[in-house]
Amino acid sequence: MVKRENERIPVSQQAHIVDKPKDLTTIGGTISVQINEKKITVPLGTTILEACQLNQIHIPTLCHHPDLCIAGVCRVCVVDVEGMRTLQTACSFPITSPIKISTSTQMVRKARRHIIDLLLSEHYGECYSCFRNGNCELQNLAKEYGVDNYTFGHVETPRYEVDNSSAAVIRDMNKCVLCKRCVRTCIDLQEVGVLEAINRGHETHVGTFLDKPLADVVCINCGQCINRCPTAALRANDPSDEIWAAIDDPKKHVVIQTAPSPRAAIGEEFGIEPGKSFTGELNTALRRIGFDRVFDTNFTADLTIMEEGTELLTRLKKALVDKDQSVKLPQFTSCSPGWVKYIEHFYPEFLDYLSSAKSPQQMFGALIKTFYAQEAKIDPVDIITVALMPCAAKKFECNRPEMVDSGFKDVDYGLTTREMAKMIREAGIFLPEMPKSQFDDPFGDASGAGLIFGATGGVMEAALRTAYELVTGREVPFKNLIIEPCRGFEGVKQASVKLENCVEQYKFLEGVDLKFVVAHGTANAKIVMEMLKKGELNDVHFVEIMACPGGCLGGGGQPIPTSAEIRAKRAEAIYEEEASLPIRKSHENPHVNYIYEKFLTDGPCGKLSHKLLHTHYTKRGKYIS
Amino acid sequence: MLVLEKNALSEEIESLVNQFGKDRSALLQILQAIQRKHKHISDFAQQEVARMMDIHPVEVNSVISFYAFLYSVPKGRNIVRLCQTISCDMYGKEKIEEAVQRELGISFGETTKDKRITLEYTNCLGMCDQGPAMLVNEKVYTKLDPETAINILNAIK
Ligand code: SF4
Ligand code: SF4
Ligand code: SF4
Ligand code: FES
Ligand code: FES
């Protein structure tokens, strides 16, 4: 729920938030209210909406979202509170006295229908060609309230130009209902601050700074706003038509890599409860669709661990043994392209702290068009690489001009979970009923360490498993390799492991308390960066940051809706799948060792891997001109 | 904008932020002060205000776009706003309208070539019993007839 100190809540709304008492047994801790015919008891300060939800009474909502602060702007949730002159919004009404609530009087129903009619009178609706058709909150409301004619008119032609300047996020304000969920997402949840309401009255629209195209402002492409938009006003840039064309072209060899998070969530697109991975089924489905090879992104996640881990150990050595003052510590992870763009915009002076390792997606792209092309004897010109990602920012990342180290565009298309599900449906396949199959060689199945990259803390956990063992020759001192302090959804996590009895090569780390920090969501990244600025991270060695709340499993390309519970279920699915894998440490992945033997022969952070697997960053700054 | 100008503007905004505070509620006062002095709040000024108040530039932009008296693009040195609401309309706003347009050679919403005057409409100024009313910068003139209106316009620099 909303935190009191969230200063963005308008003063008028702050009064609507009442702290729930810590001890419910004290006098006044709970209150009995009557909702319709039912008497219920709730903690003081519970909103009417929460009380109804707990008691299976349905209240329609639109501007309300469980991840965001209360706004109370759409009025769809109105109910009747006895003794009150007007209808009240359930989402923002805290229960502080024994009131009598009716959720379905004639007045309530009429008001709701009028509100929906008014929303539709401003909405350019063309549902059959709309990407949210069948999963649209506005469409559902219209259906639920039996809207059968446009009482207040309807928009026949689009009024706004669609903004498709961004490689990741497309904005079509003709479908916007001004619920401001995207505004609250971008400002509160992500602290990026790209979107706000511009102008007023009937001219109000959600816009960017000076109404610039999205590509020209500080948008980090996280796509979190897409996941929280109730309509199709925000959507990802969908490359599925181009991918179909490549598949249908017999000359093209189309390969796909799949990341762990989409596999743990794609079932939701087929009506399955969150919390089940469909890795094997997806492999089969992808082959039936026509992909020539199906690879596991976890393979390059394992490579990332080797590269990033080696880089960290090198930095530590330089700092501790060579006393090199110019070495930047802590080292920050660089696998989240939303986070990378965030730091490029907002903390460009700290770019040297970022690991130079590419994200797993981009490493894979570079390897497919070099190593794989060589092994499979295919001209890289004819290879199309697709990446199935939970992420909108990956679309931007694969279009970065520097991502051409193979001599070609390393990754041709970034595809989100939602778009993948659409392609699977289009091919007439019901994913959950597919037989299971394995990934293709030469990359094969990866280790569990790569798999847990999908959840916040996963990169850290995977890195620790490998780094600790490299340095001490023993497994990390945690039961079943589960490094508990890395798990869970706390915004900023801090912990440490002591390095003792180190092997000869790493004697310089003897007795060092390896300190790490894990954060997810760029609002938390901001907290970490401010700590860094103040010198509070001087004794920390490694920091993992993911741009999306919950990590990749909460990515901007994942199935809609999203909430804390859904993300927790997806995390469970990932951890469950990983626990069952035979290999759970990156450095034990035989395919990783094979590639260092056969191809990247000068080892992690060697010359060739620097060319193919590492990158550099751009100081963007936040000023817009 | 020249670097020197930018620096001067930044300094000015900094002193405004010091004066009015960094609280969100100080934003309007700061914007009004900038508007009064520069006749508009430039892109750069908006971003500086945001930086110093630790909010996002788009939030500043949003506030400016909400208020009709705050501009993000330069206007004339003087803003003349004629009341267009019903009482003034009934008192003969139309005649004033015609007279000032003819005198300045521009229509409402436009600025004279020499940047001396921008003509705009406003809604009720609370002077309904003394219409037609007109606001010149921050001063209200009431019970206008075409002649006095033109004299007022000619008196401003
Ligand atoms: S946003 Fe929803 S209501 Fe609007 S056209 Fe798309 S599906 Fe239909
Ligand atoms: S993609 Fe992320 S940064 Fe860009 S507008 Fe949406 S929430 Fe904001
Ligand atoms: S773009 Fe979507 S989330 Fe944002 S205000 Fe419009 S409908 Fe709401
Ligand atoms: S859901 Fe309550 S006002 Fe929008
Ligand atoms: S109508 Fe013009 S001042 Fe009120």
Residue-level pLDDT at A443: 87
Neighbours of A618 (CB within 10 A): 14
- Separation of A164 CA from ligand 3 center, angstroms? 16
Neighbours of A115 (CB within 10 A): 19
Residue-level pLDDT at A6: 47
pLDDT, mean of residues A159-178: 96
pLDDT tens digit sequence for B53-82: 999 999 999 999 999 999 999 999 999 999
Residue-level pLDDT at A13: 55
Strand partners, A96: none
ipTM: 0.91
- At A144, which helix (H) or strand (E)? helix A137-144
Residue-level pLDDT at A24: 80
Cα end-to-end span (Å), chain A: 38
Residue-level pLDDT at A4: 41
Please, which residues have CB within 8 angstroms of residue B66's CB and are 6 or more apart in sequence?
A: A197, A199, A200
List the catalytic residues of A. Answer: 308, 311, 335, 355, 394, 397, 402, 552
Interface of A with B in 156-195 (CB under 8 A): 187, 192-195
Residue-level pLDDT at A528: 96
Residue-level pLDDT at A12: 52
pLDDT tens digit sequence for B114-126: 999 999 999 999 9
The tokens for A102 are: 């009716």
pLDDT, mean of residues A158-174: 96
Instruction: Please tell me if the CB atom of residue B33 comes closer than 6 angstroms to any atom of ligand 5.
Output: no
- Please say if the pLDDT value at position A306 is more than 50: yes
- Residue B3 C-alpha, separation from nearest chain A C-alpha, in angstroms: 14
Contact B66 A199 (CB under 8 A): yes
**pLDDT-based confidence at residue B1 (cuts at 50, 70, 90):** confident
According to the CATH classification, is domain A238-618 in 3.40.50.1780?
yes
pLDDT, mean of residues A572-576: 94
Residue-level pLDDT at A16: 61
Q: What is the dihedral of CA A172, A173, A176, A182, to 10 degrees?
A: 80
The tokens for A22 are: 């810590």
What are the extents of the domains in chain A?
11-104, 116-236, 238-618
| Amino acid at position A117, single letter | D
* Closest of A126, A387, A354, A161 to residue A255, by C-alpha: A387
pLDDT, mean of residues A83-103: 95
* Contact in structure between A233 and A225 (CB atoms under 8 Å): no
pLDDT, mean of residues A45-56: 94
Residue-level pLDDT at A425: 97
Provide, rounded to the nearest whole percent, the portion of chain A with pLDDT above 70. 97
* Contact in structure between B41 and A175 (CB atoms under 8 Å): no
- CB-based burial of residue B20 (10 Å sphere; 0-12 exposed, 13-18 middle, 19+ buried)? middle
| DSSP 8-state code for residue B79 | E
- Please say if the pLDDT value at position A330 is more than 90: yes
pLDDT, mean of residues A100-107: 96
Crossing angle between the packed helical segments A137-144 and A106-120, to the nearest 10 degrees: 140
- Residue B60 C-alpha, separation from nearest chain A C-alpha, in angstroms: 9
Contact B58 A193 (CB under 8 A): yes
- Residue A351 C-alpha, separation from nearest chain B C-alpha, in angstroms: 20
Which of A178, A186, A205, A219 to mutate to test ligand 3, by most ligand atoms within 8 A of the CB atom? A178
Instruction: Please tell me if the CB atom of residue A170 comes closer than 6 angstroms to any atom of ligand 2.
Output: no
- Angstrom distances, CA of residue A378 to CA of A251, A290, A382: 11, 17, 7
DSSP A37-71: TEEEEEETT-BHHHHHHHTT-----SS--TTS---
- Please say if the pLDDT value at position A563 is more than 80: yes
According to the CATH classification, is domain A116-236 in 3.40.1190.20?
no
The tokens for A376 are: 């499979």
Please, which residues have CB within 8 angstroms of residue A11's CB and are 6 or more apart in sequence?
A: none
Please, which residues have CB within 8 angstroms of residue A378's CB and are 6 or more apart in sequence?
A: A253, A372
Average pLDDT, chain A: 93
- Please say if the pLDDT value at position A9 is more than 70: no
Residue-level pLDDT at A14: 59
According to the CATH classification, is domain A11-104 in 3.10.20.740?
yes
Residue-level pLDDT at A15: 55
What ligand is nearest to the CA atom of residue A218?
Answer: 2
